[in-house]
């Protein structure tokens, strides 16, 4: 029987759960002088879990963090993050730089290097400037505070138009615990894993294997259900740390409640990434129903989310339902055209094998909004369904990425 759970959204971010402090500083990695190094520290050894990019071209911090989680048995004290430089495809020097980041952080907060996780984001193929990073770690360690979550969220941004933070409070039979988090991501966003960095904290007492299972489950329906441009990067990761400071033990019986609590923080962060996608003007929610299996629904939803034709049509306010049918037909062999349905917002434009083009003006008016829903029923009569979030594709996206390195 599922444990009872009450999850409430609260104000806050990554340092909101008890037992955590955070900081964000500017140390000179970014030429702009904007904040570029963040630090999250647990007051004691915390259970730790992670989900990493599936890209085989993995950045040095991904390699180092995975090694440290294995060495520590799934425990961590600190996470150090820099923006402005991905430290990806930088060879042995990059690995040495990532390990040095961990070692310097360990010295600054009083733990072993294996209890430090490392993350980086920025331009691929650029080496870190060690003196700047070392200075930043010292500055951030001195600035650590339970009120430092917002500064940390600012420091991990690259092309993000706004910082992304979320927090929630969950009550189970054993008591109340909190979950907090922050994320960055705006371009190179594609599921499995979505190109982004995210950091989740909780003050519940959770053993590392259970935390890993719960994080993977929460990520599957949130960070792995978003897309901006169909691109999977080299640095993607989600870290979760559990301090245990709330004194509330979460075990197998509370697993569904733990997943619900994690999702209540991961989902708004994931949607925030899409809403702040490079050049985006519209958030698009895609719902696929009537599939034979959940996997069929997810495959179709992902194909729609990554279709440039669909994304440009939404941007231009064109209720071109034919593009949705075409994508669904190539994404899965199970589409039953004579029973399929397509809705743009509340307007059904295609059903039972025929169009309703007289409703196009109503759908065009709906597309003038900023929050758009596209629904496709595959017509199989099955119960499989899925949901994903994406954004429109604009000329501004092209401009940003054409000039990214210049």
The residues that are catalytic are 195
Q: How far apart are CA 271 and CA 284, in angstroms?
A: 10
Nearest residue to 221 via CA among 301, 155, 120, 329: 301
Q: How far apart are CA 315 and CA 22, in angstroms?
A: 38
Nearest residue to 42 via CA among 94, 96, 115, 93: 115
Nearest residue to 36 via CA among 45, 24, 52: 24
Alpha helix ranges (H) inside 306-386: 308-315, 321-331, 360-366
The pair of structure tokens assigned to 302 is 């992902």
Residue ranges with strand state E in 161-202:
164-172, 175-184, 197-202
Q: Longest Cα pair distance anywhere in the chain, in angstroms?
A: 68
Q: How far apart are CA 244 and CA 355, in angstroms?
A: 56
The secondary element (H helix, E strand) that includes residue 220 is: helix 208-220
**Residues near 107 by Cβ (< 8 Å), separated by ≥ 6?**
none
Radius of gyration of the chain (CA): 22
In this structure, which long-range contacts are made by residues 394-399, counting pairs with CB atoms below 8 Å and at least 24 apart in sequence? 394/279, 394/280, 394/281, 394/315, 395/279, 396/278, 396/279, 397/187, 397/229, 397/277, 397/278, 397/279, 397/280, 398/279, 399/279
Residue corresponding to tokens 């702009």: 32
Length of the chain, in residues: 406
Render 11-48 in DSSP notation, one character per residue.
Answer: S--TT-STTEEEEEE--SSSTT----EEEEEEEEEEEE
Residue 82 near residue 105 (C-beta atoms within 8 A): no
Residue corresponding to tokens 């991961």: 266
């Amino acid at each position: 029987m599922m444990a009872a759970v009450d999850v409430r959204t609260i104000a806050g971010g990554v340092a909101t759960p008890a037992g955590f402090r955070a900081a964000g500083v500017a140390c000179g990695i970014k030429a702009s002088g904007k904040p570029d190094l963040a630090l999250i520290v647990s007051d004691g050894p915390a259970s730790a879990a992670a989900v990493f990019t599936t890209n085989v071209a993995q950045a040095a911090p991904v390699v180092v963090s995975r090694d440290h989680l294995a060495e520590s048995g799934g425990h961590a004290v600190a996470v150090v993050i820099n923006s402005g430089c991905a430290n990806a495809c930088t060879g042995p020097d990059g690995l040495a730089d990532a390990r040095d980041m961990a070692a310097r952080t360990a010295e600054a907060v009083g733990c072993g290097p294996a209890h430090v996780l490392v993350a980086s984001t920025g331009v691929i193929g650029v080496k870190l400037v060690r003196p700047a990073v070392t200075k930043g770690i010292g500055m951030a360690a001195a600035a650590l505070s339970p009120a430092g979550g917002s500064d940390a969220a600012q420091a991990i941004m690259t092309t993000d138009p706004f910082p992304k933070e979320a927090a929630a409070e969950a009550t189970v039979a054993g008591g109340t615990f909190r979950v907090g988090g922050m994320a960055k991501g705006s371009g190179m966003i594609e599921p499995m894993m979505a190109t982004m960095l995210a950091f989740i904290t909780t003050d519940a007492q959770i053993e590392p294997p259970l935390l890993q299972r719960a994080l993977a489950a929460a990520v599957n329906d949130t960070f792995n259900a978003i897309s901006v441009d169909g691109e999977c990067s080299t640095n993607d990761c989600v870290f979760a740390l559990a301090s245990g400071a709330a004194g509330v033990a979460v075990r197998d019986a509370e697993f569904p409640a733990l997943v619900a609590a994690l999702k209540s923080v991961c989902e708004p962060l994931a949607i925030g990434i899409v809403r702040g996608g490079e050049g985006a003007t519209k958030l698009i929610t895609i719902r696929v129903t009537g599939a034979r299996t959940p996997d069929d629904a997810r495959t179709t939803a992902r194909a729609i989310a990554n279709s440039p034709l669909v994304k440009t049509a939404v941007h231009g306010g064109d209720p071109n339902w034919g593009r949705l049918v075409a994508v669904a037909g190539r994404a899965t062999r199970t589409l039953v055209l004579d029973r399929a349905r397509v809705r743009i917002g509340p307007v059904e434009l295609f059903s039972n094998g025929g169009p309703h083009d007289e409703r196009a003006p109503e759908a065009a008016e709906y597309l003038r909004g900023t929050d758009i829903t596209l629904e496709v029923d595959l017509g199989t009569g099955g119960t499989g369904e899925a949901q994903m979030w994406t954004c429109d594709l604009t000329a501004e996206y092209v401009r940003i990425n054409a000039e990214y390195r210049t």
